Amino acid sequence: MRTGLTGQDARDLFDRARRRAARARLAGWLRGHPSSRNRLPVLGEVPITTGAGGAVPGVQRLEFEPVGRPGPASQVIVPIDQIAGTAEPTTCFDRRFRPTSEAPRSRFEWLAAAVLSGRGMEPVELYYCDGRYYVLDGRHRIAVARALGERSICANVTEVRLNKRTRPQPRSAAASPLS
């Protein structure tokens, strides 16, 4: 419910989004889901297992590079539901871009007040990889847009591809120049 006071409405919006994140975390815990399931995915993270029999789970980060010629990214309207994760790890937001701590409060409220007063937001910076979008810059803006019920957001999109790491071949398997 909006009061008409942008500062108060922005605070209420943050509190509501934070409560929703807490409820989602509690519901996952009650269902027996690991807390990492609600974590915001990171571009290029690949789950791996190490140790004897794959006993120790871990994560490997793959490198990525822009596709095509360098230049300005294309500006498009992207459905928020198609934004799958982020390019850099963060613990401030869950996978639905709801705040999970008090850390993003001031920036969230400042952006929400700007939008509620009619000033709008700058486009977010997204990477597009394997049919999904990942946030490079603009997690707070996406969180505010989602909290306000927006279905899409203006974004500068750069297409990237993951560089698959190849395992080095053992020296004995390498072709000998003498043979």
pLDDT at 64: 65
Q: Is residue 29, in this structure, part of any structural domain at all?
A: yes
Q: Is residue 171, in this structure, part of any structural domain at all?
A: no
pLDDT at 176: 44
Average pLDDT, whole number, for the chain?
80
What is the tens place of the pLDDT at every residue in 159-179?
888 876 544 444 444 444 444
pLDDT at residue 96 tops 80: yes
pLDDT at 143: 96
pLDDT at residue 90 tops 70: yes
Query: How many domains does the chain divide into?
Result: 1
Domain membership of residue 122 as a residue range: 6-163
Q: Is residue 177, in this structure, part of any structural domain at all?
A: no
Find the CATH number of the domain harbouring 74.
3.90.1530.10
Distance CA 13, CA 15 (A): 6
Does the global pTM surpass 0.95?
no
